[in-house]
Structure 1
């Protein structure tokens, strides 16, 4: 047995030990909760589309991302997740041209304040934005402060992200038109909040 095979056996055994410890620690399997919640939320979306006169099944919504925000740690029980009442929070559409900006953090300086992060001889110049472990961060159209980004002190780090939209646009994009039956809809993300949490705000 060569060294590579021995290493592979060791890695597999360590993985088995880790999984055994994980299960014996009583960590809950939340995958079933996520699946049940996703199915419920997609059904809620399909029902709303049907109420608008659109015949839509869950299959046609398989590309829709759904995010559910729980109000407490009680989500570990799948019966709790399935019995919750969900309120639509936001509808987002993926825009391949939307800009993602990187901006300085609370210290107001690119990278680490007072450090020449990229060692180019200039401290806190724009090219240091995004230095490792600095407080610099990214802003997308979904973030507060996005409209106030100053290009002189920020830079575009990526293009393509989710942008705010509405359910009417989502419904129109999922409407079946006879002349566009093979058209692929845009990428969408729909977020929900626990109704109890929403009512308490």
Structure 2
């Protein structure tokens, strides 16, 4: 079995044949992402899917001149401006490295090729889509029903490493509050 972090991650959720491993290894390119690198830019079609092995990224959108963080992710995991990546239309969001990241990327054309030639990759993607939909629905519910302190506690329980690597302004934006409000909440919350 290949020991690349990408193949290990996928193999835990879907078994891969040797030809599928070879195809994945050929199509996903290892990349080192620098801190603050813009991986996908708002108003342009998203052209890459990223597997973040180590490091932190965010998806943000510009709303009336305000930078709003809509997703925070630390590796390991897959990320892109998904709606744009799938539709080929310009993205309404940007994907930005918060820290330096060790990652792998695949182009849309190679992603589609992989989808056609690897049944196990297709199955793996189906499971990822289902998890992403469930996560999105839960996040929407949390934003509508939980007070800010509970949203913050829930985020730190799910991803405790965020507090060490992600600037507080992004965390505040992600949970829908101002940085000053987050500062007050943090004084009350001890982890």
TM-score, normalising length: structure 2: 0.24
Point out the structure with max Rg over C-alpha: 1
| Structure with the bigger percentage of helix | 2
TM-score by length of structure 1 reads 0.23
